[in-house]
Amino acid sequence: MALMHRFSGSQELAIQVAEAIAELIRHDIAQRGIFRIALSGGSTPRVVYSRLARDRGIAWDRVLLCWGDERNVLPEDSQSNFRMVKESLLDPAQVPATSYLPVPIHIEKPQQAALEYENSLRERFQGADEGGWPRWDLVLLGLGDDCHCASLFPNSAALHVKDRWFIDNWVPQLNDHRLTLTFPAINSAREVWFIVSGQGKQRALETVWSGPRDIHRYPAQGIQPTHGRLQWWLG
């Protein structure tokens, strides 16, 4: 059963999530010598990362930061998830370049970019996978008003993929490509945390938790860690 954490607002949420991530990083490094995380985009995670960057007790050289999804834009674009993480976490915390693995971008060839990233992930997880899937220590996710998570959007082709870690997902409602982890690549994690803030998300939350079971309409319902724990952080 999923764990639920509720806070008074987005600021308190960000503080508590950042502290919980820092504690988990220190614990897992002490236990296994490394911490592997898939990051989420969005405004709430930006605040979380900014707070996390202030923690001087994190051994960033023993952390592997990856991206759970990315937009098909260049790294300097204002919509880039990489740019957001760079500005809020990588630069302020002086994270070494060997500790993060951004998604390569080929605007005209998103399928090639996704395959390159999957191959890079497989190399970095060699010997640390779970039944052929990446054994993340933590995957962070947001929740869209339409119940999408990562870049797994309603009625998109990625929802059917069971044999890939990371793919190019054409999203008809956006008329655009998105690059994203797949369901099985997320559900292999030890911990999966949804970070959700704002009253505007209440309807989506109720749909995911209590609505009819239909991952094609409500993709976030497909997040069910196979041998891990699901947590909801709400503010």
Cα dihedral 26, 27, 29, 30, rounded to 10, equals: 110
Contact of 168 with 113, CB cutoff 8 Å:
yes
Cα 91 to chain center, whole Å?
A: 19
Q: Identify which of 25, 16, 235 has the alpha carbon closest to the alpha carbon of residue 138.
A: 25
- Which pLDDT belongs to residue 199? 85
The confidence score (pLDDT) of residue 200 equals 86
* Torsions phi, psi for 16 (to 5 deg): -70, -40
- What is d(CA 124, CA 62) in angstroms, rounded to the nearest whole number? 13
* pTM summary value: 0.97
Q: What is the pLDDT of residue 104?
A: 98
Number of domains in the chain: 1
* Residue 63 to residue 177: CA distance in whole angstroms: 29
**CATH code for the domain in which residue 199 is found:** 3.40.50.1360
* Residue 188: closest CA among 123, 116, 231, 138: 138
Is residue 201 within 8 Å of 149, Cβ to Cβ?
A: no
Contacting residues for 113 by C-beta, under 8 A, at least 6 apart: 72, 103, 104, 105, 106, 168, 179
Domain that holds residue 162: 3-234
Residue 83 has a pLDDT of 98
Long-range contacts of 27-30 (CB under 8 A, 24+ apart): 28/137, 29/59, 29/62, 29/63
Query: What pLDDT does 110 receive?
Result: 98
pLDDT averaged per 10 residues, the chain (length 235): 93 97 98 97 95 97 98 98 98 98 98 98 84 94 97 98 97 97 97 94 96 97 97 97
What are the backbone angles phi and psi of residue 104, rounded to the nearest 5°?
Answer: -70, 150
Confidence at residue 129, expressed as pLDDT on a 0 to 100 scale:
65
